[in-house]
Amino acid sequence: MRRLSGVVAFAFLLMPTALPVGMEAPVYVAPKAVEDPPTVHRGTIARNGTLETTLDDLISRESIHRLLESARPLYDLARLSIGHPFDLTLGPDGLVTAFSYGIDELRTLKVRRNGDALQAEMLTKTYDVRTEIVAGSITSSLFGAVEDAGEEDQLAIDLAQVFEWDVDFNTELQKGDSFRAAVEKMYLDDRFSRYGAIMAAELVRGDRVIRAVRFESASSPAAYYSPAGVPLRKTFLRSPLAFSRITSRFSRARMHPILGVARPHLGVDYGAPAGTPVRAAADGLVTSAGWSGGFGKTVRIRHGRGFETLYGHLARIAVRPGQRIGQGTLIGNVGSTGLSTGPHLDYRILKDGTFVNPLKVTPPPPEPISASLRPAFETLRDSRLALLETGVLQAAVAQGTPAAATEATP
């Protein structure tokens, strides 16, 4: 009887359970098969890399060709740059579903699969441009002052290029000198990306104050002027090297470091690391470029108004005789060729065939801004110099100093 009860109970469990009226029995649905997730490959372009060498191990040559062809109307993927990022997404079938390449910080090429086709688009960002005031005081160098102000070396280079006709940054900055600049800063996604143009700047050297204003118009390219409208760009650069140090000055009787005898040194020696770029001090015609005895590899340039310049002991020459060049053109690199004890540039200037001291040459004055452009210049000058004064007032408020006591005279 006990065994029979167990059988009945088991049978009862197999019987369908009665459901309330109006309620249907649940239907069992088998789960869908889970597809494999897409595979993403990320990397950067190697030196001398092409699309083929970059993706050859990931997709077929046919797929690479399709990527090239789909992108060609917007960008030629045959032109890849070292270090630039790329993403490649492959579906479960191993085919390309997406590809992206960072052309630069503003442009990204995107290719996506749409059915059996690949479609390309260009995604473009824009800079958020902010004009900000940067100020600093010289303790050792312009680079150090810029770094102390929380800025990057590029700003020091940009400032030196603004004032390079009036100041030799290798020799003339002193402790206590200072600078202010109204400079554009470019932001992407609220993060600083790079510097734009310097709108106005001021360099204080002892009792001397040099101000620069950037001015441009439809008929005049961007350049820097004094508040009086005189171009800061002079006939000659103060130095053919952007940053270096003087190791030997102009002298009628200097003890030669190799020959051991007193002889004239009719130039200025700038000590700098081997390979430092050497720039043409002024517009001119290259009259010679090659080996010149004790000067080693040498470039000689003829300029207007009876001036010539000579650049000796170069490691490499980048110009040729008969070539016309502009001020600031790369003419070679610092070296130690010829009679030389180490890497340096021997820089000399001749006036009407006679050597003169490069540190004391007074170049001819440039022409001031034209009368037709002066009203536009004065309007822009006043607004841009006001930016510098605004920066002074803001600093005074931040330090709790009466603003009137810190205002600078325009």
> Is 295 in contact with 313 (CB distance < 8 Å)?
yes
Nearest to 279 by CA among 160, 115, 114: 160
pLDDT tens string, the chain, 410 residues long: the values are 445 455 445 444 445 555 556 556 566 665 665 567 889 999 999 999 999 999 988 999 999 999 999 999 999 999 899 999 999 999 988 899 999 999 999 999 999 999 889 999 999 999 999 999 999 999 988 999 999 999 999 999 999 999 988 888 877 889 999 999 999 999 999 999 999 999 999 999 989 999 999 999 888 889 999 999 999 998 888 889 987 778 777 565 455 555 555 567 788 999 889 999 999 999 999 999 999 999 999 999 999 889 999 999 999 999 999 999 999 999 999 999 998 888 999 999 999 999 999 888 887 778 899 999 999 999 999 999 999 987 554 444 444 433 332 233 23
Task: Look at residue 247 in the predicted model and tell me its pLDDT.
Answer: 75
Say what the pLDDT of residue 163 is.
94
pLDDT at position 391 is 58
Distance of CA 205 to the CA centre of its chain: 27
CA atoms within 13 A on the CB side of 318: 15
Angle CA 109–112–118, to nearest 5? 105
CB-based contact 262:253 (threshold 8 Å): yes
Per-residue model confidence (pLDDT) at position 409: 29
Specify the pLDDT at position 395. Answer: 42
C-beta neighbour count of 42 within 10 angstroms: 10
Radius of gyration of the chain (CA): 35
Would you call 291 helix, strand, or coil by DSSP?
strand
pTM for the model stands at 0.67
Give the pLDDT of residue 128.
95
Two structure tokens written together for 9:
């109970």
CA angle (216 as vertex; 182, 393 as ends), nearest 5: 20
Residue 143 pLDDT:
92
Q: Which residues does residue 211 pair with via DSSP β-bridges, in sequence order?
A: 202
| pLDDT of the residue at 348 | 95
Q: 231: which DSSP letter?
A: B
Alpha carbon distances (Å) from 135 to 78, 129, 156, 205: 45, 19, 11, 14
CA 21, distance to chain mean position in Å, is 79
User: What is each CA distance from 104 to 46, 107, 227, in whole angstroms?
Assistant: 16, 5, 37
The number of helices, as runs of H, and strands, as runs of E, in the chain is 6, 22
Which residues lie closer than 8 Å to 215 by C-beta, 6 or more apart?
222, 223, 224, 225, 369, 373, 376, 377, 380, 381
pLDDT on residue 249: 72
In this predicted model, what pLDDT tens digit does every residue of 38-65 receive, in sequence order?
A: 899 999 999 999 999 999 889 999 999 9
- The domains located in the chain, with CATH, are 39-124 (3.10.450.350), 126-234+365-410 (3.10.450.350), 245-360 (2.70.70.10)
- For residue 321, what are its two tokens? 């005789």
Cα–Cα distance measured from residue 43 to residue 335, given in angstroms and rounded to the nearest whole number:
39
Distances (CA, A) of 283 to 175, 305, 331: 33, 12, 12
